């Protein structure tokens, strides 16, 4: 099928859908550096394109079966200021897509069979759940029935990145259900493997998880009731008493976990670090979302975000060294090929922008799996 790539970024939607056999007929992206990478990676000659969705008239868009959009999550994400879908300047771009659909309806133009939207998991709870309700209502008003699923990128790449994927089905098109997504007979979404509970008190802190599965979701208050994951936490490299007693600032974990969520990592050396254990924001003492975390080699990374740095600690004899994840490694964590990365880099895109673009992208293999079901 043909699709239009709204809020295109570096083309995570495009790459995944093309791998699933679909064809892009147009893209919209306002960031000049993201456009430079996008046009270096893909053959966009002859395609519809625009920089600002607010300047786009719905009737001018080419006919397409799918509209894809991951409207900016800045105002919804836990890492952002959480102004919400309506009040946030960036996340409210969702309504521009709805406007374009309304304009096509008014002018009796063909509507896409599918709306394919991705956003942070926090959309489900933002503004007391009213923001997600608004998404459903707006899609319903323009003629779409909606299904959704929360999928963790850790099922297809070594990065813990939970995102909600939303499919709008045009009522007149008789499209088929997409979720749940399955791979090799199993649901794509894995669950942490529980080994047992060593206490009568029913609380997450008393559950013991296998170190051969994925870790349960960690929260900002885990330090009060640490999750037990076999011998997951093996060391703490900081004197936590000087940081208000939060042991999370220096935790070191055993292998076989996930990478931190990549963010845009802009300025100040906030790129990912590795110890042979991925570490989230190693030089940042106070961070609202996750704080400092460490994991071993061969573990999946934390979720990539737009502002956190990630890395791996490398043990050398009795010393611990930290190095940044490279921009290429961050692109790999989102499922892009090295060829894609080299094309963007050769176009003159700086490392800081390459980091940012990785953090803002959607995970390509997840999009491919969904694209195969459309």
| Orientation of helix 338-346 relative to helix 351-360, angle to 10° | 140
Beta-carbon neighbour count of residue 137 at 10 Å? 11
Question: What residues contact residue 147 under an 8 Å CB cut-off, 6+ apart?
Answer: 166, 167, 169, 177, 178, 179
**Strands, E, within the chain: which ranges?**
2-5, 23-28, 48-50, 66-69, 114-120, 144-152, 162-170, 182-183, 186-187, 194-197, 207-209, 233-236, 251-253, 260-263, 273-274, 278-280, 293-294, 302-305, 311-316, 319-324
- Residue owning tokens 């390459």: 354
Measured CA to CA, the distance from residue 129 to residue 355 in angstroms comes to 31
Phi and psi at residue 331, to the nearest 5°: -65, -40
Query: Do the beta carbons of residue 311 and residue 273 sit within 8 Å?
Result: yes
| Active site members | 73
Q: What number of other Cβ atoms are within 10 A of residue 102's Cβ?
A: 15
Closest to 312 measured CA to CA, from 328, 329, 295: 295
**Exposure on the CB side of residue 117, measured as CA atoms within 13 A:** 26
How far is the C-alpha of 235 from the C-alpha of 250, rounded, in Å? 8
Judge whether 62 and 50 are in contact, CB under 8 Å: no
């Amino acid at each position: 099928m043909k699709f239009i790539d709204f809020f295109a970024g570096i083309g995570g939607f495009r790459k995944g859908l093309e791998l699933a056999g679909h064809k892009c007929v147009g893209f919209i992206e306002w960031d000049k550096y993201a456009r430079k990478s996008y046009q270096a990676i893909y053959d966009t000659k002859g395609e519809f394109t625009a920089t600002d969705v607010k300047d786009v008239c719905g009737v001018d868009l080419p006919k397409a079966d799918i509209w894809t959009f991951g409207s900016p999550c800045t105002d919804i994400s836990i890492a952002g200021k959480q102004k919400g879908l309506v009040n946030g300047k960036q996340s409210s771009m969702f309504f521009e897509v709805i406007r374009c659909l309304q304009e096509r309806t008014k002018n009796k133009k063909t509507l896409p069979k599918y709306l394919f939207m991705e956003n942070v998991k926090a959309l489900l709870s933002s503004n007391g759940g009213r923001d997600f309700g608004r998404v459903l209502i707006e899609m319903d008003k323009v003629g779409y029935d909606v299904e959704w699923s929360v999928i963790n990128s850790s099922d297809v790449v070594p990065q813990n990145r939970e995102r909600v994927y939303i499919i709008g089905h045009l009522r007149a098109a008789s499209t088929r259900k997409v979720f749940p997504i399955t791979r090799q007979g199993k649901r794509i979404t894995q669950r942490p493997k529980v080994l047992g509970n060593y206490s009568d008190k029913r609380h997450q802190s008393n559950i013991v998880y296998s170190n051969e599965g994925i870790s349960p979701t960690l929260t900002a208050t885990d330090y009060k009731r640490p999750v037990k994951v076999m011998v997951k936490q093996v060391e703490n490299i900081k004197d936590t008493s000087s940081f208000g007693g939060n042991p999370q600032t220096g935790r070191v974990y055993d292998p076989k976990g996930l990478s931190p969520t990549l963010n845009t990592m802009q300025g100040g050396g906030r790129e990912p670090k590795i110890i042979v254990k991925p570490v989230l924001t190693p030089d940042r003492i106070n961070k609202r979302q996750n704080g400092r975390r460490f994991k071993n080699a061969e573990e999946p990374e934390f979720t990539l975000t737009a502002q956190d740095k990630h890395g791996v600690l490398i043990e050398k004899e009795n010393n611990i060294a930290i190095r940044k994840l490279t921009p290429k490694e961050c692109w790999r964590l989102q499922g892009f090929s090295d060829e894609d990365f080299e094309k963007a880099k050769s176009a003159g895109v700086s490392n800081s922008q390459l980091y940012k673009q990785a953090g803002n992208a959607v995970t390509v293999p997840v999009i491919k799996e969904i694209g195969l079901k459309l």
